[in-house]
């Protein structure tokens, strides 16, 4: 795979040229704070009928003129309900068909359109343009190699997910003579419910400072996946111990410094940090038991 890690321009270096689909990159005229809370400059009714400006990160390793990362400007006609994904799709379909990003379901369940929007990891399809400060800056997820434009290499993320053995390990399966399901209490389902909602978008891992500095750290998504199984009472106790040993390794749960950035960006509202802390407690309890 021909991926490389280009230097992404600092957020302050967003281009200034507001010309239509400016193919030129430039430096933004003013610095902006990376808003943890977006300040809406215009409410929806004010934006109606207007065009909005998006500044989109561009990079292609093999196309001359795109090998140096840059931002392109696109002026997109605003419609009520328009999302960030709608805006980049409009720009691609009307101005530049080479503008590249992943997307599919556009209803926040396929997890493929996680971008870095105005300095925060978000799903393009469920982020309303009207709720953002304008102009809207759209970049690929940080801390992952950029393949092209907004597409990042997800292989490392998938590898980490696979490291925790993300599959049920109760070996009993029914046959036609035995159609009984395993029993699971409502309480136990409730306990694992949020953890099962993960859509593998990678926003959490991208937001995590520890993951950024330690490539071997399992990261919040993989640990949450381990939690999903470790806390499911349908798996036997010895499997749970096996799972705790996996997440307790050197680059496992103990690396987490409880900064809550993963929890903050998760588009499915999974309490990732809480799950990591709970696994730490479970691991301690298991170790105490062996003494």
Q: Is 4 in the site for another protein (CB under 8 A)?
A: no
Q: Which is nearer to another protein, 39 or 176 (CB)?
A: 176
Among 30, 39, 45, 62, binds another protein (CB under 8 A): 62
Among 224, 232, 253, 261, binds another protein (CB under 8 A): 232
What CA–CA distances, in Å, run from 233 to 190, 195, 226, 276? 12, 14, 13, 18
Site string for another protein, 235-254 (x = CB under 8 A): x-------------------
Q: Which is nearer to another protein, 58 or 280 (CB)?
A: 58
Neighbours of 181 (CB within 10 A): 7
Q: Which is nearer to another protein, 70 or 255 (CB)?
A: 70
Q: How many residues bind another protein (CB under 8 A)?
A: 64
How many helices and strands in the chain, by DSSP H and E?
10, 7
CA 215 to chain centre: 16
Of 202, 216, 217, give the one whose Cα is nearest residue 276.
Answer: 217
The residues near 101 (Cβ < 8 Å, ≥ 6 apart) are 88, 92, 113, 115, 124, 149, 150, 151
Q: Which is nearer to another protein, 102 or 242 (CB)?
A: 102
* Composition of the chain by helix, strand, coil, percent to 5: 35, 10, 50
Q: Is 45 in the site for another protein (CB under 8 A)?
A: no
Q: Is 49 in the site for another protein (CB under 8 A)?
A: no
Site string for another protein, 106-145 (x = CB under 8 A): xxxxxxx-------------x-------------------
Q: Which is nearer to another protein, 20 or 63 (CB)?
A: 63
Contact predicate 197/272, CB 8 Å: no
* DSSP element (H, E) containing 120: strand 120-123
CA angle 113, 115, 118 (to 5 degrees): 145
User: How far is Cα 183 from Cα 100, in angstroms, rounded to an integer?
Assistant: 46
Q: Which is nearer to another protein, 158 or 254 (CB)?
A: 158
Site string for another protein, 159-198 (x = CB under 8 A): ---x---xxx-x-xxxxx--xxxxxxxx--x--xx--xx-
Please report, as ranges, the residues that interact with another protein according to CB under 8 A: 1-3, 60-63, 80-81, 92-94, 96-98, 100-112, 126, 147-149, 151, 154, 158, 162, 166-168, 170, 172-176, 179-186, 189, 192-193, 196-197, 199-200, 229, 232, 234-235
């Amino acid at each position: 795979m021909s991926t490389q890690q280009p230097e992404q321009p600092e957020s302050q270096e967003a281009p200034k040229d507001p010309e239509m689909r400016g193919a030129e990159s430039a430096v933004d005229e003013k610095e902006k704070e990376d808003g943890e809370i977006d300040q809406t400059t215009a409410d929806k009714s004010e934006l109606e009928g207007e065009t909005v400006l998006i500044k989109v990160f561009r990079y292609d390793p093999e196309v001359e003129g795109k090998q140096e990362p840059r931002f392109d400007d696109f002026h997109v006609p605003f419609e009520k309900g328009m999302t960030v994904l709608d805006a980049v799709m409009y720009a691609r379909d009307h101005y530049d068909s080479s503008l590249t990003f992943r997307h599919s379901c556009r209803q926040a369940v396929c997890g493929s359109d996680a971008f870095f929007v105005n300095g925060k990891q978000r799903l393009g399809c469920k982020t309303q343009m009207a709720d953002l400060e304008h102009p809207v800056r759209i970049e690929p997820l940080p801390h992952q190699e950029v393949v092209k434009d907004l597409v990042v290499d997800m292989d490392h993320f998938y590898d980490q997910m696979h490291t925790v053995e993300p599959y049920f390990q109760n070996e009993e399966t029914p046959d036609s003579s035995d159609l009984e399901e395993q029993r699971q209490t409502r309480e136990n389902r409730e306990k694992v419910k949020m953890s099962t909602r993960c859509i593998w978008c990678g926003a959490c891992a991208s937001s995590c400072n520890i993951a950024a500095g330690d490539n071997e750290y399992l990261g919040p998504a993989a640990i949450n996946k381990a939690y999903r199984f470790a806390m499911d009472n349908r798996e036997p106790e010895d499997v749970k111990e096996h799972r705790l040993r996996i997440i307790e390794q050197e680059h496992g749960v103990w690396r987490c410094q409880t900064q809550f950035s993963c929890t903050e960006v998760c588009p499915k509202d999974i309490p990732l940090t809480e799950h990591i802390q709970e696994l730490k407690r479970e691991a301690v309890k298991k170790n105490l038991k062996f003494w």
